[in-house]
Chain A
Amino acid sequence: MLRSIAARRLFSSTLARKDTLAFIEVANGKVLAASLSAISAAKAIGKPILGIVLGPEGEKGAESAAKIDGLAKLLVAKDAKYDHYLAEEVAPLLKELVSKNSYTHFVTPASAVGKSFLPRLGALLDVQPVSDITKVVSEDTFVRPIYAGNALATVKSKDNVVLASVRASAFPQAELSGSASIEDVSEAVESGNRTEFVGEDLVKSERPELGSASRVVSGGRGLKNKETFDSIMNPLAEKLNAAIGASRAAVDAGYCDNSLQVGQTGKIVAPELYVAVGVSGAIQHLAGMKDSKTVVAINKDPEAPIFNVADIGLVGDLNEAVPELVSKL
């Protein structure tokens, strides 16, 4: 009796010890900071972690991806059809790998790319994915924000494989101190893809990347126009070596590019310092920044909701306060 229990335990523990497959997003030959955060989430799950990079872009970044601490192995799928990470190509390949190797977990950063292919993978595997996790409670239980971050739901997955996207700002970035072995993916998967990549128009910026910057300065409607936005926000960002963000109002009014929007429907950031200039602080904007360590608000309206989350608030005219701040920093 005792022996059978012991045997069963042994059996179940060998069964349970399966791997996590982690998608590592590479852009311009560099591993995305968000991917490093996703690896930290994978570590918290506690299984051996296999990384995977895709396409020519992934191949370029493979050497640095293999250095991510915590990786047991790095898989490289070199095929050019994985360039641009089309969900129609990525999901069938991952489905093949996950089902063939019976990985118990798959994680991806909750980037535009990850959000695009993960649910499609869920459909192929008949699994309900878990979006945007901010905490790993156990290997099947996770915390994720709902209602624009106004509530935190703890959810337990009953699926046999957990598919999760990871909110980068909620996990530290894994170090680049490892040396995983690199292995080519040999599977050739026929996807039946009919989608064609036409082109892209990416915003070039010398500023740090918004999603991973340790400091963010963000402008809102109060900046009035594009000229003021640039003339007020650029010097402040430069002085603080910060990324520039914006509220939806500023983006819609054309003060800056869409990709700079911070909020429920834009980027989610949690920098050390977040300076909100002329931002009222609507629920949807707060959803994207309220986990920042120190929040500074500069706004002429003392009733603006942004002051409810600001650690340091200054009621005043941003046209005077911000240049003065720049000169005194």
Chain B
Amino acid sequence: MSILVIAEHDNSSLKPATLNSVTAAQAIGGDIDILVIGSDCQGAAEQAAKVAGISKVLVADNGAYSHQLAENVAPLIAEVGAAYSHVLATATTTAKNIVPRAAALMDVQAISEISEVVSADTFKRPIYAGNVIATVQSSDAIKLLTVRGTAFDAAPAEGGSATIEAVASAHDAGKSEFKGEEVAKSDRPELTAAKVVISGGRGMGNGDNFSMIYSVADMLGAGVGASRAAVDAGFVPNDMQVGQTGKIVAPDLYVAVGISGAIQHLAGMKDSKVIVAINKDEEAPIFSVADYGLVADLFTALPELESAL
């Protein structure tokens, strides 16, 4: 079997998300190549070549690929992927945008967010907001999969010395154009990769009160998340949302502050190793999944927590 992993990168460097797909690819077994699609993406390609256990890195370097527009990137994946038995990408917003488009071009039913490899054609994946795990078997000749990053460890980023080969093929559909972006800047660890995550919900009351969460996060070196209620109320930007429709996290420690624990929020964090809930409502559903629950007013508990750390 031969497996192609689509690299997640920002042109200059490879993102760690790629490494989770490499581990999933190893679980399937076979030769693993990495495809880097971008513009001036030599830096990312060189890092991909160092990933342990990779046979070959394919690089499609073209201006049309600079912002990962689905209309341009998907045909390339469909073209290069045709020579493989499996094509994998970690389920980031970039991959979720592109992989299904490539699947339709290849006439393949993609499988989203696999959490376990049972065999080369059989996979497990969460459905219904993670309340049920489905085992599914694909009869397609090429398996196109997105991988739930938190379900697979990251492969070692060093130790390999794969060859780098250029892919000449360029696709520019000319149907969409990148106009700009607004990137949330933060010195804290990235939410999906953080060892510790502390999240605030509606109970925070307003955006200013999130400063208490940030202070505790800084003490713990934690990433900061939020429930949908906190995002919808405008306390914090939406890229901080943890849940079925936001980010999926599985840190060593997840601290939920002023979050009731709706099904949709639990879908994004219940695979965390240790869950702590701080809530003044002792009936809140979050306490049914929390390893340690503290029934207390967060406005007194958070400053106490900060000084205790």
Are A and B physically bound partners? Answer: no
